[in-house]
Amino acid sequence: MTATTAADIRLCTRCVLPSTFPGISFDATGLCSMCQEAPPAPEFEKIRGELRQRLEAVFDANRGKAEYDVIVAFSGGKDSSYTLMMLTQKYGLKCLAVTIDNGFIAEQAQKNLRAVTSSLGIDFMLFTPAPVFMNKLYKTSATTPVHTKAALTRASSMCNSCINLINNHMVKLAIEKSVPIIAGGYIGGQVPKDSVIMQMDLDVQARFRSEAIKRYLRNFGPEAESYFGMNEEMVKRSPLRKINIVNPMLAFGVSEEQIIEEIATLGWRKTADTGSNSTNCLLNDLGIAVHYKQHQYNPYVNEIAEQVRTGLMSREEAIHKVQDIPDFSRVERQARAIGLDWNDV
């Protein structure tokens, strides 16, 4: 097999998706198959307006029904900080911000967690899984196929494992506290297009969990049960049968610059040590480097392409971001931290 070189890779003339992206094809003008189906950028504001109305209806139907209206999966990064700010200030929802400390939250991001929740005057909960388990999870994710091909088009394998652990923790908390809504700070391209509002049926979820947990136990060992499993008796007893999973960023339509400007009013400051695609995690560049070595495309390219397609990022900025692939020297320290040998990737 001949290795793909950067010169062999062509980019969509509108959104920057590369020819190495799975399932993609190009027309004679160089437009990728996703852009061929997408409306022009200005039409997205109308779509987002309709999505905001649907979100508001979900918020109105669930406000004041439990101790908290919403559990927000809060990484301390710019998108979840903005989500938390909007849900609290614009929509008047009582939020519980929940952060999973993966052991690699940048120092400035840790300050941001406190600054944002303190400024908003909301409750904040931090959960720190055992570092030995998290390191094993990351190392295994970098060297073993754990996730579906479709999931890998939205995030690196390391990020997918972490996201699944986070999601499971949020669902556990929502069930424990009977909170009807879980919000994430995901933006377009990080989650499927229809995920502005998803109703998660707990019975359906239980079925997937039983399959997923086998995979996690096989890959991450018996400790995975604590992080990916669920007390099924608690699930059955819960008065909640469905949880609304919402990703409001898909409906907001704000650029990165606007987001950073607005959350700066809460005391949020940009990190300097998390690479060009993360504002909280010190491991992110390693995830990108591993993904690129294995799949020949930046795992952020789907979300970056979607930002361009929807008019929230310029093509020039997008090209700069997607081509910023860390070489091994930039991620050696992180690889060492999780016990990863680059030759095993």
Partner 1 sequence: MNNSELAADTRIPDGPMDEKIRQYLAETLLIEFGDAAGATSEDENLFESGLIDSFGFVQLVAFLEKTFDIKISDEEVLSDALSSFAKIRTFVEAKVAR
The binding site for partner 1 (CB under 8 A) comprises 22-23, 33, 147-151, 153, 191-192, 194-195, 198, 200-201, 203-205, 207-208, 211-212, 215
CB 270 within 8 A of CB 108: yes
Taking residue 30's Cβ as centre, other Cβ atoms within 10 Å add up to 13
The CB-of-37 to partner 1 minimum distance in angstroms stands at: 10
Burial of 47 (0-12, 13-18, 19+ CB in 10 A): middle
Instruction: Please choose, from the candidates 121, 146, 127, the residue with its C-alpha nearest in 3D space to the C-alpha of residue 221.
Output: 146
Residue closer to partner 1 by CB (options 22, 39) is 22
The CB-of-15 to partner 1 minimum distance in angstroms stands at: 16
- Alpha-carbon distance of 89 to 250, in angstroms, equals 18
CB 235 within 8 A of CB 206: yes
The CB-of-141 to partner 1 minimum distance in angstroms stands at: 14
Strand partners, 32: 26
Residue closer to partner 1 by CB (options 97, 158) is 158
Residue closer to partner 1 by CB (options 188, 275) is 188
Residue closer to partner 1 by CB (options 152, 331) is 152
In what order do the strands lie in the sheet containing 123-127?
123-127, 95-100, 70-73, 181-183, 242-246, 197-201
Residue closer to partner 1 by CB (options 155, 281) is 155
The CB-of-130 to partner 1 minimum distance in angstroms stands at: 25
The CB-of-244 to partner 1 minimum distance in angstroms stands at: 13
